[in-house]
Structures are given as structure tokens and as C-alpha cells.
Structure 1
């Protein structure tokens, strides 16, 4: 099925209200994408490509309702924030998906001011600004502050939604407080490493490379 510029005009008023320049736009009918415009945050979708189960497009096509979510890199090898709108094209149910970097997610809750972590048999509330980084390890979530290690029951993906802007996801397993970044270097394989002020070195995965460069400006 072909889609023309005239058909897209019916959605232009909706798009122009809030879509930034880095957004990509995808349109799918039935079980495949029929249109894709690649912005700066590019999932590299192709016209004719099948809609992946669990994607924003899939959710909207099945439910017929607007949907939004931050998805990790499992589907497209790059994390993204997507908003899908049910539409109709040539009498058929379709979906328009706006694709943005994860940090564009609308935060529905106030950012955390502290996290309560468990250390041995004690629980301690730790001010969020003192936390150096957070880690997902062996299906548990840990955070580090003032040389101490704490465990929390909140998964990284949920923490990310309520962290202040000075926290950045650099890897599926790591979220870092930018205030504690000392420098960024390359390892022997030319991959980026974030070096914290305490000497800890954390890898930047390829999936989060563009976001890290964009936020930190290098």
C-alpha cells in the first residue's frame, strides 16, 4: 500500500504541535510498516517490514487505543520512547508512531529525592544527589553512595522514569549520576568508558552511545 504526502497532511496539525526535529515517524497498516521517516533517533525501519510483537505499533494495532512507553534495545537494538496513535488509511485501521530518544519520556511522577537502600539488615534513605551510579546485576538492583553499596527492590527501568535530569542511562546495566563523572575514555577496543570520580570504570554500550553523546555534548 502506498501513502502519499496528501494523505499525511491530515495528521500534520497533530504532528506540528509537539514533535521535535530528532523524531522519527512510522506508519503501519495491518502487520507491516508502509511509511518511515528517519529523524536523528533512527530505528532503521524499512517500508514493508513486519510489525514486531510488543512494539508500540503492535500495541496500538491490537488495542485500537493510543499508547506510549519507553522500550529497551531488545526489539530494534536501540532504546526509544514511542507514542502511537490509532488512525485510518484508505478505510483500514492503521497506526502512526512517533519515535524519540528515551529522555523525552513524559514523567508522570515527581523525581525521587532519595532512595531507601538495604545494607545487611538495615535500611537507609540516601539523598538522590549522593548516589554515584546504579547497577542491575544478577536480577537485582544496587546503588552506590559514599563508598557504600545498597540494594533496592526497584528495577532500573522504573528508576529511570523518576530520576532527575543529571542521571543518564549508559548501558542496560548502568545508570550514572553525571555529577560524579570524572572523564570519558576509550578502552583497548576503542569502546567508550565512563570513569567516575572514585575511579570506577563503566562501559557505554553501543545502544546508548548516541544518547550519551547527545546529553553530554561531545
Structure 2
């Protein structure tokens, strides 16, 4: 499955996580990062259910989580992302 991001097709399985900043978001894939003018909620509605919201700023591909810590996750690319207090019970 692919989605259109900034006029470029992106393979959903290559997405590691999406970071939001207001109405903009950055999609981090295994090869590159893409900044675009869509909010995280837009992608949350478009992507398969294995993409989970761990924080208001982060939507992660649960298949790319390397380590689950008490307050954060470490992704396969080595990035550590925080888990919000409200989302902790939904992730474990």
C-alpha cells in the first residue's frame, strides 16, 4: 500500500514514524524524511491500524518498534520517542 505525500508515493511499510508540528508533519521512512503541510491526524485516519498514536506529536508504525520502555519507545532507526501518560495503557 502506498500513500501520496507531497506529490510522491510512499510505501506505507517503509514509514517508521510521523512527527507532527501543528498543521505540518514530517514523515520518517527507512530511507528519508519528508516534510509536508498535513497534520498527524490526517495520516492517522489514512494509515492501517498498526500505526498507533503514542503522543499528540507522534504516530508510529508498531511493526518498527525495537524496544518498549516505560515512558518511551525506541524505533528500529534508533530514535527514542516519548509516550504520553494518557497513551501508556493503550500501548502495552
TM-score (norm 1): 0.39
Aligned residues: 92
1:116 Cα deviation (Å)? 2.6
Q: Is 2:80 the counterpart of 1:211?
A: no
Taking the aligned partners of 2:38 and 2:23, their CA distance within structure 1 comes to 11
User: What SS is found at the alignment partner of 2:3?
Assistant: strand
Bigger radius of gyration, 1 or 2?
Answer: 1
Taking the aligned partners of 1:193 and 1:166, their CA distance within structure 2 comes to 17
Cα RMSD (Å) of the superposition?
1.6
**More relative contact order, 1 or 2 (CA 8 Å, 6+ apart):** 2
Given the alignment, which residue of 25, 47, 63 partners 1:179? 63
1:137-157: per-residue Cα shift (whole Å, max 9, x none)?
Answer: 254111011231102333211
Would the aligned equivalents of 1:115 and 1:128 in 2 still touch at CA under 8 Å?
yes
TM-score (norm 2): 0.87
Taking the aligned partners of 1:142 and 1:161, their CA distance within structure 2 comes to 16
Would the aligned equivalents of 2:51 and 2:62 in 1 still touch at CA under 8 Å?
yes
Q: Is 123-132 or 173-182 further displaced after alignment?
A: 123-132
User: Which runs of 4 or more aligned residues in structure 1 lie more than 3 Å from their structure 2 counterparts after TM superposition?
Assistant: none
1:13-60: per-residue Cα shift (whole Å, max 9, x none)?
Answer: xxxxxxxxxxxxxxxxxxxxxxxxxxxxxxxxxxxxxxxxxxxxxxxx
Alignment of 1:56-135 (within 5 A): 113-118=1-6, 123-135=7-19
1:106-157: per-residue Cα shift (whole Å, max 9, x none)?
Answer: xxxxxxx323334xxxx42111111010010254111011231102333211
Q: Which has the higher strand share?
A: 2
- 1:154–1:139 distance in 2 versus 1, CA, 3 Å: closer
